[in-house]
Structure 1
Amino acid sequence: MQAFLTILKYDFGQLSQSWVSRIWIIVMIIPAIFLIFLANYENEFASETMAFYTATVLMPASGLAIAVLSASSINVESGIIADSILSRAITRTEYVCAKILSRMGFILVTYSIVIIPFSYFMLRYGVNDTADSSVFLGWIVIGSILTAVAAFGILMSVLFANLLPAVLLVLLTVSLSSALMQFLGLELLSISAVIQELPEIFRGETLTSTGIQIIGIFLILTSIFLFPAVFIFGKKDL
């Protein structure tokens, strides 16, 4: 347990000092501030502005950052992992679980740090056409999507020894699967379709049960990606 906590704390600290993380936060914050001022002076609807921000800033920036942070979780430290496991300092399961928790925890914390104040000021200074519970539901929906993307990135990090192919595969798979699901009419499985529905979710026009369904689907996908990652890492040669 001590080794698990040590890896968890160390990795979280490394993530907080990463240039990828810092750029990600800056890229999300600057447009958010601009949109808050715009909503105040132009009387923009909060639901439309928050959905616009999600589609044009939050998801593109987060998608790229999460692809890099999650796909680099295992493969970039292969030499260190091998030495630690061979010396019995930590088990494979402890290591991969600590990495999963630190990466996904950091991503969700960063997301929350930006989204919570953004929502507060947008609802205060924009034209508030939303319900608080609906806004909360909408951001939980987006959080569940980001969690699933992170889980897939971790799986790719286990499968690929090199970072670049893992990152590219995450970005390509997420983009193509989203378009394919929307084309097939499986809109609850399509990230792009869910984002298009955000204004209605924020306004409370979408059924709460539909939002919960979306959250459930992406949390199930998260589990589907993480269980093989833990299993494969436990069996692979280091």
Structure 2
Amino acid sequence: MQAFLTILKYDFRQLSQSWVSRIWILVLTVPAIFLIFLANYENELVSETMAFYTTTVLMPTSGLAIAVLSASSINGESGIIADSILSRAITRSEYVCAKILSRIGFILITYSVIIIPFSYFMLRYGVNDSTESSVFLGWIIVGSILTSVAAFGILMSVLFASLLPAVLLVLLTVSLSSALMQFLGLDLLSISVTIQQLPEIFRGETFTSEGIQIITIFLALTAILLFPAIFIFGKKDL
């Protein structure tokens, strides 16, 4: 357990000092502040403004940042991993689980730090056509999507020794799978369709049960992606 906590704290500290993380936070923060002022002075609808922010800022920048941060979780430290495991300082399962927790935890904390104040000020200064519960549901849906993207990135980090192909495969797979699910009519599995429905979700015009179903699907997908990552890393030659 001590080794697990050590890796967890070390990786979390590395993430907080990463230029990718800092740029990600900056790119999310500046447009959010601008939209809050715009909503206040131009009487913009809360639901439409938050959905616009998600579509044009949050998802594109977060998708890229999460792809890089998650896809570099394992392959970026192959030498350290080999030395630590071969010296029996930490087990394989402890290492990969610490990495999973730190990467997903950091991503969700960063997401929450931006979204919570953004939502508060939007509800306060914008034209409020939404409820707190519907806004909460919408952001939980988006958070579950980002979590599944992070899980896929971690799996790619286990499978690929190089960062670039892992990141490219994450971005390509997420984009193509979303389009494919929409083409097949499997809207609950399509990220793009879900994002397009955010104005209605924020306004509370969709059933809560449908939102919970979407959250359950993406959290289940997260688990499905993480299990093989742990298993493959346990069998992988270092």
What's the TM-score, normalizing by structure 1?
1.00
In 2, Cα distance between equivalents of 1:167 and 1:206: 34
1:191 Cα deviation from its structure 2 partner? 0.4
SS at structure 1 position matched to 2:161: coil
> Within 5 A, what are the aligned runs for 1:149-228?
149-228=149-228
What are the superposed Cα offsets for residues 6-52 of structure 1, whole Å, 9 maximum, x if unpaired?
A: 00000000000000000000000000001011111110000000000
1:184 Cα deviation from its structure 2 partner? 1.0
Give the counterpart letter for 2:203 in structure 1: R
In 2, Cα distance between equivalents of 1:34 and 1:83: 48
What are the superposed Cα offsets for residues 81-115 of structure 1, whole Å, 9 maximum, x if unpaired?
A: 00000000000000000000000000000000000
Give the counterpart letter for 2:87 in structure 1: S
What's the TM-score, normalizing by structure 2?
1.00
SS at structure 2 position matched to 1:182: helix
1:147 matched to 2:132: no
In 2, Cα distance between equivalents of 1:182 and 1:195: 12
In 2, Cα distance between equivalents of 1:69 and 1:235: 23
- Other-structure match for 1:58: 58
In 1, Cα distance between equivalents of 2:185 and 2:92: 40
- Other-structure match for 2:46: 46
In 1, Cα distance between equivalents of 2:39 and 2:13: 36
- Other-structure match for 1:129: 129
In 2, Cα distance between equivalents of 1:49 and 1:202: 10
In 2, Cα distance between equivalents of 1:66 and 1:165: 15
1:91 matched to 2:55: no
- Other-structure match for 1:11: 11
In 2, Cα distance between equivalents of 1:187 and 1:61: 23
In 2, Cα distance between equivalents of 1:61 and 1:123: 23
In 1, Cα distance between equivalents of 2:80 and 2:156: 19
Give the counterpart letter for 2:14 in structure 1: Q
SS at structure 2 position matched to 1:116: helix
1:183 Cα deviation from its structure 2 partner? 1.1
Give the counterpart letter for 1:219 in structure 2: L
In 1, Cα distance between equivalents of 2:33 and 2:106: 22
SS at structure 2 position matched to 1:88: coil
- Other-structure match for 1:230: 230
Structure 2 unaligned regions, length at least 5: none
1:5 Cα deviation from its structure 2 partner? 0.1
In 1, Cα distance between equivalents of 2:17 and 2:179: 34
In 1, Cα distance between equivalents of 2:14 and 2:178: 31
SS at structure 2 position matched to 1:118: helix
Q: CA RMSD in A?
A: 0.3
In 1, Cα distance between equivalents of 2:164 and 2:222: 22
In 2, Cα distance between equivalents of 1:6 and 1:171: 31
